[in-house]
Every structure is written in C-alpha cells, then in structure tokens.
Amino acid sequence: MKNTYIIQRILYTLFIFALVVTLCFFIPRIGVEDPCARYYPAQGNMSDENYEMIKELTRQQYGLDGSNWSQYVRYVKNLLKGDLGTSYQAGSPKVWSLIAQRLPWTLVLSVSSMLISLFFGILIGAACAAKRGGMADRMLMNASTVTTAVPSFFIALLLSFFLGFQLEWLPAYTDQNMVSEFAWNLKSVEMVAYNAVLPVLSTVVGGIVSYAQSTRNSVIAVANENFIVTAKAKGVSQNGVVYKHILRNALLPIVTGLGMGLSGLIGGSVVIEKIFNWQGIGMLYLEANNNNDYPLMMGIMIFMAAVALLGNLITDLCLGLLDPRVTVE
C-alpha cells in the first residue's frame, strides 16, 4: 500500500469531517431567529433596557452572541481544542461529559452485537459455502430475503411484545436502576446482561444473516477464480489454498461489511435504544432534540460522524493492505 494512498484517504476524511461540522452547525439554525428565546425569563416589572441586557448575557453564556459566521468560527476554534460546547441542561454541563456518561452503555449494545454477528456470521457463511445448494444454504438465502425487507426496529418491537410483555421472559424496558446502581461486581454485570438480551438480539438477527451471506458469496466467488485452480495444479496443499489464497481474498467484502458496522457503532442503535429505553447516546440525542439543546445535538452528531468516518478510514486502509490494487480512484 502506497503512502500516497494513505495520505489521500486521510485528507479526504478530514475534508468530509469539516463539511459535516459545517452542516451540523448551520442546519439547526435554519429558520430560527433566536435559539435562546426559550431561556429568557418573563419580563415582569423589568425595564426594556434591563430585559435586553439579560437576553444579551444569556446569549453570551451559550455562545450565541454575534452573527452566525462569528459563532461558527468560535465553535471551530473550540472544537480544535476538544471542546464540544456547553449544554443547556441545568448546571450547564459540558457536552463531552454528557457523551462520556452515555457512551459505555451504547458500546455495550453495539460492540457485543457486532462481535456476535461477525463470529456466527462467518461460521455460518463458510459452512453454507462448503455445502452450496444444501438445506442450510437455502435457509440462509431465504433468511437474507426476510431480514433485508424487515428493519431491525420491527424485529425489536416483535421481541419486546412477545418475549417481554406476553411471555415475560425478558424485560421489555430497561431497568433504570441498572445505570444508577451500577458497580463493577457480578450482580451489576448480570443485571446489564439480562437487560441487554433483547436489544442485542434485535440487531444480531440481521447482522448474522448479513455477514453469513457476505462470507458465503465471497468464498464461493474466490474458490472459482483461475488463480485458485492454478495454485491447486501447482501442488499447493489444501490448507495453503484455503488460508493463503481463498481466505485472504474472501476477506475483502467481509472487511467492508465490518467497516460499515464500525461506522454505525454509535449511531446505529438510536431507535433500538428508544424502544427499550436504553440510556445510551441515542436516547441522549432524542432528549436533546426534545429540549432544543442545540450544543448537545451538534456535539452528538459531530461525535457520531467522527466515529463513522474513522470506521470508513480504517476500512479503506485495511482494504489497501489486503489488496494492493486498491486505489483512491
């Protein structure tokens, strides 16, 4: 992999990130004359001069004084220092601190779902490719058709209704004591695992099928290539053919799928968190949206975009390592 490819990918990622920051800053301000209007106190017996002074102080407190462009320049300068702004919540907490509080709970769902989907997806896909046309292979194709048409949130609603409300095997809603009373002991870990079963299962169903189909198609396609036949004709051992030739080339679409999974590692579970009332970043964003908390909304969107772009960058670099023919074009 050439250094020019790495540099081009990094510069392209930085350009997209700058574009995302710009859009995240200006879009919430479209059609809004004064974002601070809801935070002004009732005028009461105050004079117009005092009331205007209070409004100006409020704008300064939240960094909304001056034109939009001056606010944008100030926001970018603070962002370069790692400051995502100050939330409108009581106590004016920093946006980054609120994200840091909710991030571990989102990672519990997203990381566990991705690892489970990847592990079982590759195993099932490889088995179906080895017995192409068999019953397991046909079942995988049918399951792929169903999961493509049925979104994960619909699966979450079904699981919540039947396993949560009807059978009462698992909690339909997250126990709020799980977050407030969490401690690093076996009891707390068991409580988190128990409450996470349905949310994880909701995303794992489609993830396993997706990785399995990708692995199955990739292995079959690579196994029929001419260089595989040539390697066998040269007397290369079966293990050598599988691990040095088929597996390396079959990993390309799997790595691409994994990169897409990394891209959605944070933002992909917003609806799932809402359905199960899971106190992650998704729920935090919905709360910020309901309260018109612009700094918190922007901070979460920028953080999600950074994770997605980083996932795409890692994917591109891994593809460049696996296949030297990969270029920016």
Quote the pLDDT of residue 118: 87
Strand, coil or helix: 86: strand
CATH-assigned architecture of domain 95-322: Orthogonal Bundle (1.10)
- Residue 249: phi, psi to the nearest 5? -75, -30
CB of 120 closer than 8 Å to CB of 321: no
The alpha carbon dihedral of 234, 240, 241, 246 has a sign of negative
Structure tokens at 111: 């990381």
Rounded to the nearest 5°, which phi and psi values hold at 94?
-70, 145
3-state helix, strand, coil in the chain (%, to 5): 75, 0, 25
* Model pTM score: 0.79
CA pair distance 214, 254, nearest whole angstrom: 6
pLDDT attached to residue 14: 93
pLDDT of residue 18: 94
Q: Which residues of 144-165 are buried (b: 16+ CB within 10 A; e: fewer)?
A: beebeeeebbebbeebbeebbe
Q: What is the pLDDT along the chain (329 residues), one digit of tens a residue?
A: 577 888 888 899 999 999 999 998 888 777 666 777 767 777 777 788 888 888 888 777 777 777 788 888 988 999 999 888 888 887 878 999 999 998 888 888 888 888 898 889 888 888 888 788 888 888 988 888 888 788 888 888 899 889 888 888 988 888 877 777 777 888 888 888 899 899 999 889 888 998 888 888 888 888 777 777 777 777 777 666 666 677 667 777 777 677 666 666 666 677 888 889 888 888 898 888 888 788 898 899 899 888 888 888 887 787 777 666 655 55
pLDDT at position 262 = 64
